[in-house]
Amino acid sequence: MEHPENDPKYKGLIVNKGVARPPSVNPYLLKRRKEDERSVAEYTEGVLSGNRVILSQAVTLVESSRPEHQEKAQAIIERCLPYAGNSIRVGITGVPGAGKSTSIDAFGMHLLKKKHKLAVLAIDPSSERSKGSILGDKTRMEKLSLEQDAFIRPSPSAGSLGGVARKTRETIVLCEAAGFDYLFVETVGVGQSETAVHSMVDFFLLIQLAGAGDELQGIKRGIMEMADGIVINKADGDNIEKAKMARSHFSNALHLFPLPESGWTPEVLTYSGYYNLGITEVWDMIHKYVDFVKESGYFDRKRKEQAKYWMYETINEQLRNSFYRDPEIAGLLEKLENDVLHNRKSSFVAAKEALDRYYAHKG
């Protein structure tokens, strides 16, 4: 029936026809569910063809702790492995505020201009506590996040540092198989996560600031020793002189360390991520290093060592999980802990008792 409002005497009033009622279930979600059911072959094909949506979903499988997801993820990784490895992996560390995101944005745009494809991953040690990731967040890299040839993935958020790092390491395989020829792995320069990053990258870059004492930057000797290059950010405006001084300070400090296994003496450079100054020089240094270690054979040797390291890390992680997640053991540990605290048992006797129970129970 015609609406009475459409009568010519109500000129100016137009009543639109109603729209069809939308389905009560969002059709996009239905499609999503189907995507969840992709086969290993479909995932692999999608990743290898560089499909970013499928790559993202495959990474989600890697990060999932559900056994069926893990199983699928491992199968995909195994199929992708022959196509992985053709990238330059750069670890980037520095305390919060050092300018990691600003620099990654600038470094990344430099690479994209040269027609490379870049994936930015992260290992965020704080994620376990906060259950949220502060690194690798797309909004922190304003320019890169708009680029088709950049894939930015925040840090996996659940689990121990070892577990989080392993997932990042597996994600590297997927990204490389998807055709990303540069990989950044970002971490905050405050603790053990550097060791994890160091054991999955070819070049380890330490971002420093001028004028901040070493203590302030939380830089332990160990982290400096791991660095293949130290770059002093914010060398712009009034800060240029200070940055130059910091450069000689760090160069001198580096000379006190023994020559690294790679045979490469780490270089120290100044640059400005914000004003895009000295970025080319930083990349020239990284490429010079890569040429040097490829020539000497260290590049391949290190990657093999890293593969071995991750095999043992994975074994350790799985054993630990299997032990601590066993409900019977968890109950026993509580009791043993109490015994140890009250001097009823020595730490070693208690540990042995727990392990014996575990072996008996598993065997």
Contacts with ligand GDP by CB under 6 A lie at 94, 96-102, 233-234, 236, 272-275
Q: Which of 101, 133 has the CB closer to ligand GDP?
A: 101
Q: Which of 265, 280 has the CB closer to ligand GDP?
A: 280
CA-to-CA distance for 274 and 243, rounded, in angstroms? 15
CB of 30 to ligand GDP, least distance (A): 39
CA distances from 232 to 2, 30, 143, 243 (A): 74, 50, 22, 6
CA-to-CA distance for 156 and 133, rounded, in angstroms? 7
Q: Which of 139, 343 has the CB closer to ligand GDP?
A: 139
Q: Which of 168, 217 has the CB closer to ligand GDP?
A: 217
The CB-based long-range contact list for 111-118 (8 Å cut-off, 24+ gap) reads 111/182, 111/283, 112/144, 112/147, 112/149, 112/150, 116/149, 116/181, 116/182, 117/149, 117/150, 117/151, 117/179, 117/180, 117/181, 117/182, 118/144, 118/149, 118/150, 118/151, 118/180, 118/182, 118/183, 118/184
CA-to-CA distance for 165 and 42, rounded, in angstroms? 26
Q: Which of 97, 222 has the CB closer to ligand GDP?
A: 97
Phi, psi angle pair for 120, to nearest 5°: -115, 115
CA-to-CA distance for 338 and 27, rounded, in angstroms? 54
CB of 314 to ligand GDP, least distance (A): 29
Q: Which of 198, 234 has the CB closer to ligand GDP?
A: 234
CB of 135 to ligand GDP, least distance (A): 8
CB of 252 to ligand GDP, least distance (A): 23
CB of 93 to ligand GDP, least distance (A): 9
CB of 186 to ligand GDP, least distance (A): 8
Q: What 3-state DSSP class applies to 216?
A: coil
SS3 content of the chain, % helix, strand, coil (to 5): 55, 10, 35
Task: Tell me if 136 sits within 8 A of 183, measured CB to CB.
Answer: no
CB of 250 to ligand GDP, least distance (A): 17
Q: Residue 4 corresponds to which tokens in the numbers above? A: 């009475």
Q: Which of 122, 329 has the CB closer to ligand GDP?
A: 122
